[in-house]
Chains A and B, each alone.
Chain A
Amino acid sequence: MSDIADRVKKIVVEHLGVDEDKVVESASFIDDLGADSLDTVELVMAFEEEFGIEIPDDAAETIQTVGDAVNFIKGAV
């Protein structure tokens, strides 16, 4: 896993309190990791802060899985 993926994983584990081995690329925040809609807003906020980027609302809506987040951030940093 790349550095970005590791950092994303760490944030997800910390924020959602899930087991690390569950945070795979295909894992959906809501369906697989038990996040509610407000959790996803907070995750986006945490990503913005960690990577010093802005994630606009329409882009945030497309980030459904751990892999989506990694890919978006890779393109943005």
Chain B
Amino acid sequence: MFDLTGKTALVTGASGGIGGAVAEALHRAGATVTLSGTREAPLRELAERLGERAHVVTANLGDAESVLALPKAAAEAMGSVDILVNNAGITRDNLFMRMSDEEWAQVLDVNLTSVFKLSRAVLRGMMKARWGRIVNITSVVGATGNPGQGNYAAAKAGLVGMSKSLAHEVASRGITVNCVAPGFIATAMTDKLNDEQKGKILTQIPAGQMGSPEDIAAAVLYLASREAGYVTGATLHVNGGMAMI
């Protein structure tokens, strides 16, 4: 349905379930993709599966130099970065009263600060091209809060405000900035939950099941498309009705 032929996309956290599905969806729509993540092996595996138009650049987004190098390497590999999907994220859950400065800083660095820096770096090319798409993956907990995730929820809510501010600034240049906020998605992370925990979660989801990485990928694909050019500063909630906001 959406055609991204000739467009280039950088996807962070592409070694994870959601990031991998996002990269695959953009690639299937015709985009050239750069897969980024900390672990090279799964990135290579995905790139091989995708075949042509797939590049791999490993990067640790907790490391300032790595954050600086990534957009340059991606632009070198693909010629430009037309679409940036900031999907990479980490959790360092802890009760607020027990949370260390380090747990707070690590999550803010990777989940919020790196998104600011990567977006800033790709904007120059997008401004010149008069076309660009930035899609930030936030989370339902950025809107609702979640016990044990004060750092994560702060970073995710921060992304929303940052995206809206940037969306204001660059809308006149054909660049959109949006967020996709997943609810509970079946990934390696949620596989670790036991049946009781899963059952509890499901009672809170009107759709009665967890989402799939493909559900998130479809939302990202839409926001990255030409057809979504009039949508900016928005957050698309993909959560099975868990939070209707």
B128-A45 in contact (CB<8A): yes
Decide yes or no whether A42 CB sits under 8 A from chain B. yes
Decide yes or no whether A1 CB sits under 8 A from chain B. no
Interface residues of A, dominant DSSP: helix
B128 cross-chain contacts in A, Cβ below 8 A: 42, 45
Query: Which residues 31-65 of A sit at the B interface, judged by CB distance below 8 A?
Result: 38, 41-42, 45
Decide yes or no whether B117 CB sits under 8 A from chain A. no
B169-A38 in contact (CB<8A): yes
Decide yes or no whether B170 CB sits under 8 A from chain A. yes
Bound-state CA distance A57–B34 (Å) is: 30
Bound-state CA distance A46–B128 (Å) is: 9
Q: B123: nearest residue on chain A (CB-CB)?
A: A41
The smallest C-beta distance from B122 to any residue of chain A, in angstroms, reads 13
Interface residues of B, dominant DSSP: helix
B170-A38 in contact (CB<8A): yes
What 1/0 flags go to B55-92 for Cβ under 8 Å of A?
00000000000000000000000000000000000000
A38-B124 in contact (CB<8A): no
Query: Size range of the interface on B?
Result: under 10
B172 cross-chain contacts in A, Cβ below 8 A: 38
Decide yes or no whether B173 CB sits under 8 A from chain A. yes
B124-A45 in contact (CB<8A): yes
Decide yes or no whether B41 CB sits under 8 A from chain A. no
Decide yes or no whether B207 CB sits under 8 A from chain A. no
Q: A46: nearest residue on chain B (CB-CB)?
A: B128
Query: Which residues 108-130 of B sit at the A interface, judged by CB distance below 8 A?
Result: 124, 127-128
Query: Which residues 167-201 of B sit at the A interface, judged by CB distance below 8 A?
Result: 169-170, 172-173
Query: Which residues 149-172 of B sit at the A interface, judged by CB distance below 8 A?
Result: 169-170, 172
B170 cross-chain contacts in A, Cβ below 8 A: 38
A selection of 11 A-B contacts at a CB cut-off of 8 Å is A38-B127, A38-B169, A38-B170, A38-B172, A38-B173, A41-B127, A42-B127, A42-B128, A45-B124, A45-B127, A45-B128
List chain B positions with a Cβ less than 8 A from chain A. Answer: 124, 127-128, 169-170, 172-173
Contacts beyond the supplied A38-B169, A38-B170: 9 A-B pairs with Cβ under 8 Å: A38-B127, A38-B172, A38-B173, A41-B127, A42-B127, A42-B128, A45-B124, A45-B127, A45-B128
Rank and list the top 8 A-B pairs by shortest CB-CB distance, nearest first.
A42-B127, A45-B124, A38-B169, A38-B173, A45-B127, A45-B128, A38-B172, A38-B170
